[in-house]
Amino acid sequence: MSIIDTNDNVSLHLTSLKQKNVTAIGRYYSSRAWKRITRKEALDISGAGMKIFVVFEDNGDPVLTFDNGVYHAQIATVQARGVGQPEGSAIYFALEHLPHGYKSKHLPGIMEYVRGIKECFGGRYKVGVYSNGVVCEALLEAELCVYTWLSASSSFEGTKEFYASKRWSIAQDSHVDQNWGGVSVDVNEVGSDFGGFDVGQNNVYLSSELTSTSDAVPDNYAAAKFSEVSDGACQLATGEWSFFGRQTYDVSGRKNHEGHTEGEDDYYQRVGLYWSEGTNTQGIDGRNHDQYWSATFISWILRRAGAGARFRYSIKHSVFISQGIRDFLQKRGEAGYWTVRLSDAPPTLGDIVCWTREIGVDYDHQNNGSYAGHSDIVVAVETDQIWVIGGNVGNSVTRRPLLLVDGLLAPTKQNGETLFALMKNRF
C-alpha cells in the first residue's frame, strides 16, 4: 500500500491519489490554519476509503518543556475533536530541530515535552513522534510514545540504526516534496499498525472533560456537556495558564502561586501572539507594559477556539461585554454570547465573567461600551465556586476562584474591580 503525507488539502485530488494506490494520507494539526486538516477534508478522505494519520506541527522545533507539551497536546485535542478523530488512535508530534536534527544531549528536554503530551492525553489518544532515530529509540524505550515516524534525514543521529531495527511505525522516504499533480507529497513505508483512523458523519467528539494535567482544575468540578467552541476555549485558556507557570489567586484575590510574567523571555513573545492573532494588532508584545492585554487574550482564545463571526473581538473588554448586552436584549440568535445579569443565570463552562474598573458602570449603565473593564473565562464549576482564567492578571495568565451563592455569582469586589455581569456561552 502507498502511504503519503502532505501539507496540502487533498479533497480535490482524491481520485488521482486513489489511482496511485494511496491507502492512507498524513495531514496536520497546527496553530496555523492554512496547513491543518479540516472536518470536511477528513470526511472526504474517509469517504474515498483511505485512512488518515495526523501530526501536530507548528515549526518542528518546540520549546522543550512539560508545560509546552501540555499546551500543544491541548491544541491537538481540540482539533482532533473538531475533525472527529476517534479516541484510541494516534496523534504524532513533530520533533525535527533542522537543519542538523536532535542529538543525544537534547533527550532530557524532549522527554519532558513528551511527558506533558502524554499526561495531557490521559490515554484518550496514543502518542506518536515524528523525528530522527535517536529520538524515536529513546522515547520508545522510555515508554513515552506508542508510535514512531522516522523522518527522511538518514544522516541524523541514530536514524540509519533505527530504520534497520524495524521498530518504526512509519518511515519517510528520502525523496520528499514530490509533485503529484499539484499536491506536494512525501512517500512513506508503513508497518502493520500506524495509528490511522477514519471518520464518519456522526463521529464528532464533544467532551466536558478538560484534557489537561491532573492538577489543572480541581478534581470535583461539575461535569456538563458543552460545545466544541466552549471546549476549545476552556482547554486553550488552561493551556496558556499552564504555559505561564500556573499563577493562582485565592478567593480574596491574593496570589498564592506565582507564575511567569509578561516581560520575561519566551513569555513576552506569547503576549505578542495574543495581540497579532487575537486583534490583528502589530508591534506590541509583553515588553510594552503600558499596553493592557487582557481583552486581547480573551479575543485570542475565542478566535483560536473557532468562534468566528459570532464574537466581537476587541482590545477592550467593554466592547464585547456591551455587544453581548445588546445581543441579549435584541435576542440576536446568531450571537455567540449573550451578556446577562449575575442573578439571571448560573455560570457554566465557557462563559465569561465581566468586571468594571470604573465607578458608575454597571449592567444598565455601559457608557456607550467604552470603559475600563476586565473579563475571565469560566474553566471549572464546582458546587460552591467556579474557577476562571484571565490574561494580564498580575502580569501573567492567572486562575482564581469566585464564590457561588445558591448557584449564582454574587456581585464581588476584588483588586479594584467589581463583578457585574456574565456573558453566557451560546455555542
Q: What is the CATH number of the domain that holds 418?
A: 3.90.1720
The answer to whether position 324 is within a domain reads yes
Let me know if residue 210 belongs to a domain: no
181 in any annotated domain = yes
* Residues 185 and 330 placed together within one structural domain of the fold: no
Of 190, 217, 236, the one marking the end of a domain is 190
Residue 196 domain flag? no
What pLDDT sits at residue 1? 61
Same domain, 352 and 233: yes
pLDDT in tens, 3-17: 999 999 999 999 999
Query: pLDDT at position 205, please?
Result: 39
Rounded Cα–Cα distance for residues 421 and 427 (Å) = 19
Q: Which amino acid is at 103?
A: K
The pLDDT assigned to 225 comes to 32
Residue 88 CA, chain-centre distance (Å), reads: 19
Provide φ and ψ at 17, rounded to 5°: -70, -40
Domain boundary among 160, 190, 220: 190
Q: How high is the pLDDT of residue 227? A: 58
Residues 161 and 248 reside in one and the same domain = no
195 found inside a domain: no
Q: Which phi and psi (to 5°) does residue 165 adopt?
A: -75, -20
Q: How many domains does the chain have?
A: 2
Q: Are residues 170 and 298 in the same domain?
A: no
Q: Longest C-alpha distance within the chain, in Å?
A: 73
In a shared domain, residues 242 and 337: yes
Could you tell me if residue 204 is inside a domain? no
Q: At 102, which CATH number?
A: 3.20.20.80
Q: Are residues 12 and 161 in the same domain?
A: yes
Mean pLDDT for back-to-back runs of 10 residues, the chain (427 residues): 89 92 94 82 94 92 88 86 91 93 95 94 94 96 96 91 95 90 91 90 40 30 48 88 92 93 94 95 95 97 92 97 97 95 94 96 95 96 92 97 92 93 95
Same domain, 178 and 283: no
Whole domain around residue 355: which residue ranges?
Answer: 228-425
> What's residue 209's pLDDT?
32
Q: Tell whether 299 is covered by a domain.
A: yes
pLDDT confidence of residue 191: 83
* Boundary residue ending a domain (161, 190, 219): 190
Residues 168 and 106 in one domain: yes
Q: Is 216 inside a domain boundary?
A: no
Cis peptide before 411 (omega within 30 of 0): no
